Amino acid sequence: MPSPSAGACSRTTRGHGESTGRPVADDYTFGNFTSDLLALLDTLELDEPIDFTGSSLGADTALRAAIAAPQRFRRLVVMIPPAAWADAAPAQSLYAGIAATIESDGPDAWRRQWATSDPLPIFADHPRFDLTPAIPDELLAAVFAGISRSNLPPENEIATITHPVLILAWDTDPLHPTSTAQHLHHLLPNSELHISTTATDVQTWTHRITTFLT
């Protein structure tokens, strides 16, 4: 199960890595991460549109920020967009269950369970790599609870994004189904879509992103 981290910004996103946060679930709904990104861009006083890459939660940040401030962005890369809209309920329920488990059993027990969980089928024959969220123990439950209350922006708002967008997804991930990526491709008028069905193909993503952005 992929982390709810925000792609390229996962180490500086609120409640992640070295960034601080409060154990308040409403702080970690998707819209707040977008507000943080736009506030960061204000602080940096950048005078040119930027390219932004986000995965999972960060995919929402990319889309939501481009809707709110289209002039700030040049190109977007949206990786493994999460289950969304009418199909979001099972993922939301799972994240709410994780939050409840952490509250009842403690973060150490949940981290042990996470470490021994089966990989996604697409990665079954691939060397195991660490996808543990870089979230402090005291914030884990609140972050998952906040994400359980979130969804991608409304479809009609996403359809207003005219930036070039590269959408990358992998198969066999129920929390990030290829159906979301395919529907985003349908909604976004200037998008490219690539779906990987093998771990070897996922390894081509760095080259695909570099080519797209340059």
- Residues 168, 78: contact at Cβ < 8 Å? yes
Q: Any residues with CB less than 8 A from the CB of 78 and at least 6 apart, and which?
A: 54, 59, 62, 63, 165, 166, 167, 168, 181, 184
pLDDT of residue 17: 84
Distance of CA 193 to the CA centre of its chain: 17
171: which 2 tokens?
């198969």
Burial letters 73-102, b for 16+ CB under 10 A, else e: bebbbbbbbbbbeeebeebbebbbebbebb
CATH class held by domain 7-213 = alpha beta
pLDDT of residue 135: 93
pLDDT of residue 4: 39
CA distance 87 to 29: 18
- Neighbouring C-alpha atoms within 13 Å toward the C-beta of 166: 21
pTM (2 decimals)?
0.92
The domain limits of the chain are 7-213
- Residues 176, 80: contact at Cβ < 8 Å? yes
Average pLDDT per block of 10 residues along the chain, 214 residues long: 40 80 96 95 93 96 98 98 97 97 95 90 84 88 97 98 98 97 98 97 97 96
